[in-house]
Amino acid sequence: MPELDHAALLRLAIAESAKAKAAGNHPFACILVGPGGEVLMTQHNAFMPDHDMTGHAERVLMTRASTTLPHDLLKECTIYTSAEPCAMCAGAIYWTGLRRVVYGLTEKALKGITGNHPENPTLDLPCEVVFAAGQRQVEVIGPMLEDEAAEVHKGFWG
């Protein structure tokens, strides 16, 4: 896979998470990037307004991508996400066929920020564990820019 500017693209995902927060949603977001570095799709968490507990940004983006983009393209794409994909989202990424994930905040650090918040009962399970159970490799890069990714959560979960 080609080398992309992971820091710059991850900062775009983090900026999207700030937009999600500003709109009153959970401060998570991700972007789908094509093989040449072009942003194909963006997605914020879809928790509000229906309180969809499965409306995580990565899961929703993978549904959109897998139903609209060719599989041959998807297997060359990278998802950049403000926080490490949870087990559900990692499964969606795996089944969609992506080969690379770049994330900011770890699940462990996120759990430290959100605590036992009823809207985000964080699973402290590294996405690499989920991917390792699969039959094909998913490259994982992260955590990256963890302080920047954590900043967006300040004042939200209190």
Kindly list the catalytic residues: 58
Plot region of 83 (φ>0 → left; ψ -120 to 50 → alpha; else → beta): beta
Give me the DSSP letters along the chain: -----HHHHHHHHHHHHHHHHHTTS-S-EEEEE-TTS-EEEEEE---TTTT-TT--HHHHHHHHHHHHS-HHHHTT-EEEEEE---HHHHHHHHHHT--EEEEEE-HHHHHHHHTT-TT-------HHHHHHTSSS--EEE---SHHHHHHTTTTT--
